[in-house]
Amino acid sequence: MGSFSIWHLLVLLVFLGGGVGLLGVVIWWVTRSARGAATPAAALPSVAERLRQLDALKAEGLISEAEHARQRATIVQGV
């Protein structure tokens, strides 16, 4: 009754390994879902701020009139 066979070892490994594996899967799932969370709206620039930035780019000559008009239409359509 005091002997410890290979079968006892295998049963222990299955139970302990299964528990560790399950814990690993749970941790993986939680971290993956946390990374996929949407960015809070407060972190995104407002429409007015985006339009101001676009106007500044045009005023500095970094974008053309056509690009300005296209980007402005894209921003306004998103409202």
Q: What is the pLDDT of residues 18-52, one digit of tens each?
A: 777 777 888 888 888 777 666 566 677 889 999 99
pTM exceeds 0.75 for this model: no
Q: Does residue 77 or residue 2 have the better pLDDT?
A: 77
Residue 58 in this model has a pLDDT that exceeds 90: yes
Domain boundaries, the chain: 1-37, 40-79
pLDDT of the residue at 18 = 75
- Nearest CA among 72, 31, 30, 66 for reference residue 51: 72
Between 47-59 and 65-77, two packed helices, what is the crossing angle to 10 degrees?
Answer: 180
pLDDT of the residue at 39 = 59
How does the average pLDDT of the chain come out, rounded?
Answer: 83
Burial 41-62, CB ≥16 within 10 A → b, else e: eeeeeeeeebeeebeeebeeee
